[in-house]
Structure 1
Amino acid sequence: MSTNTGTGTGTGTELKERADALMGIGRYEQAGELLARYLVDAPGDAWAWSHLAHCRFRAGDHEGALKAADEGIAADPECWYPWERRAFLLPFLMRVDEALEAAREAVRVGPEEPSAHSVLARCLLFTGDHQGCYEAHRKVVELNPESATAHFNLAHPAELIGRLDVREQALRNALRLDPDHADARAQLAELLRDAQQMKLPELAGEYSAALGSDPDSRYIEHRLNLVVLGLLRRTRWFALVCLTIAALTSRAFPTGDDPRELPVPLDTRLWSLVLMSVTWVLGAWFFAYRKLPQGARNTVWSLLRRYWPSRLPVAQALWGTLCAVVLVLVPWTDRGYEQTIALVGAVPVVLAMWFGNSWRRVEKERREKQDGKQNEKK
């Protein structure tokens, strides 16, 4: 005769099946209640204790989850799953050393289980053993070579120990197995950008595609915003080109045998306006905007609406271009006015570009120093 629980109807098998079904749809609190009822009559089921630990963790009860994992270990010390649950849970309670011991035990009793090696890698990362973390993730890939997640997780420790070739290959393998893996796509694009193998418009396209696969990813959204901001900064170069055209046309800074008579003929000034228009059209459309996919184009306008720092480079570019237009539209007869307008248009743009480049260079050097210190510690 089937065994009934003491707190409700249904056989033990039915309770476990219903709990599994509830876990599958994310109703962990209800699944945990069913498992607790089942374990009243089957306290020796280590796997059920482990599932209960998982349910309690997902419900936010870390202490209760750890207690369930310990009960599973007591029920069957040679079952790897409760050891894996214990190793996973302890870092949330700031008990990393104990977690590492549990992870090693999980690997000992379950040497062919990818999850055991994965939790060991996680604990080794917490303790700062990057090489050990890398080796553990290599073992996960060896045991489960068709898992996109396993390859993706290998990329980070590979970067930490300086194996950028392994990191790139791991990300490519993750995308080969799962073409919609958003994080792998975004990180591979970033890696290629750092290696000067991808331009900003292409990088924006990759981030946009990755964000399409995972619309809730704040990291990918942030990286896409930074790339779009970099594209907007390039518009300041268009303004400098326009100012150069205007200064030459208006004869603001004549040299050598250049014509010096003022005012400049109207047809010459109108021709310079055509050249400035071509500069903006070719620059903004042909060299940048044309190559952006629709998602990245939408990000440009969205960023301009909601993020005021993105408007600064555009405002600076428009200011420089406006000064260039004033230089050629007005028939100036005083070269001093022309030179003043040219400098008023160029100096803010040049200073903003210089300051921004200097700040980004300092930040890059700071990150490189931090990476160097981390490598020394390893």
Structure 2
Amino acid sequence: MHRCFILLFCSTVTLADGLPWLDDLPANAPLIEYYDEQPLPEPGSKLAVLVDRIDRDLRRATGFAQRLLATLRVRINYRLYTTGADATDITAWQRAYTEISIGRNPFERDPGGLRGYYAINDDSCQVFKVFPPKDNPQPPKSGLPLIVSMHGHGWQDWYRPFQLEGYSTDGAYVISVHGRGSADFKWIAEDDVLAAIDAVQADFPIDPSRVYLTGGSMGATGVFQVGAHYPHRFAAGFADSGNTDITAWSDFEAEDPADAYGALRARLRGLTSPIAFAENFLNLPLIITHCKTDSTVVHSQRMAKRLRAAGCRDYTFTLRDGEHVDLQPMADRFDALRRFRTNPWPYRVMLKAASYRQATAYWVTIRHFERRLEPAELDVRR
């Protein structure tokens, strides 16, 4: 079977000359809000020397060695952020660094816990957490399922460095991803999810046809966001009380009715919203649930309506009593998801994309966008 490349032509969008609001953006404006402060080693200390060596080697290393160095780095960061380091910690970290330098794995007896990967986009080490199966089964040749747990937004610690939530279960690996804090799992936060999955698949016996997305609140937004952009990488998703577009934050922003670029801004924001790409769930099953009295319940209702209108049939939508987020135990979520497997060659593919980053799904690829700021769409059959 050959990969299908399809050239698409999109409708025209007219823009005013120039974008002066970009000129008003501070030169050092971050892509997302700043993290809480991450404590640094005291300059000139043994730990500072060790961290400098790790950072130097990280940029040179590749593959497994780089992931081991990144894991050591995030574990050092975590200890500094939580309790601080003592002489015993530093000695253990120096020993681990030496083992990595001679090709050994100092974490071999500790396969779970905090892990790291090197993010080339901003020269940093990013964290995720691995939960091995509780029952420690013998993996089949195809590997074990992987459940990706995405955390909620929170209200008082939006950008602390270690936002991780997840729980182990029988018969599957679980990873908790950080997603760059509270960024709705968009942009570099989306990259974070994919990079963490890649790292786990490289180092653990994972069945690539049984990777599942789960999350509540902002984590459910992540299920919609990452699933809509990369449906071919996942077998199914479980989303509890997530938002599906930027209107979830409208109460926090005052729009200027005289803003000459309001329509453009709305268009750009729309292209970041997963509901705009609901067609992409044609072959990715979704289990959607939402508290019936929640202020954001309209988001799940709109997503279910869009899925139905797009012809997506493999989804369920349930309104429930309770709190904003009342996620089922991981074992129950896994029971609901475990029957699904990724089909890499579905008969029909619907793909909508606004960026080359998300322009491939299954056996089709969008190779050209004729109009800027306009998504391309396809609906093809083998």
**TM-score, normalisation: structure 1:** 0.24
Higher helix content, 1 or 2: 1
Structure number with larger C-alpha Rg: 1
Higher strand content, 1 or 2: 2
